[in-house]
Amino acid sequence: MRETPRFNAGGPSGKIARMFANVSFPSLADCLRLVRRWVIRYAVIIVINTLIAAVLAFGIRPEETFWKDFIFSQAIGLSMFSLIGIPRHVLW
């Protein structure tokens, strides 16, 4: 019969565990402020992408439909913003 592992509630034993022992979660107000900031950033990016789609559909390539340019503009713009913005926030 195998022995069941026991949880040791003592102090952190390793270097990494000691490093993370003093980490605390941000307050709810800080989390809401962060979410609000990201929602505003994404809204600005959506507006910019819509303007780019309008310029493409009505100015540069009038043979294409606005909705096709809109979908491509949003897909490219939001994915690039996410690929740049999220790691930037996490790493810095």
What are the structural domain ranges in the chain?
Answer: 26-91
pLDDT of 61 reads 80
State residue 10's pLDDT score.
61
- Write out pLDDT tens, residues 42-80: 999 999 999 999 998 888 888 878 999 999 999 999 999
Q: Which long-range contacts (CB under 8 A, 24 or more apart) does 24-32 make?
A: none
Asked if 78 contacts 49 with a C-beta cutoff of 8 angstroms, the reply is: yes
Q: What is the pTM of this model?
A: 0.66
Of the listed ranges 24-28, 34-38, 63-67, the one predicted with least confidence: 24-28
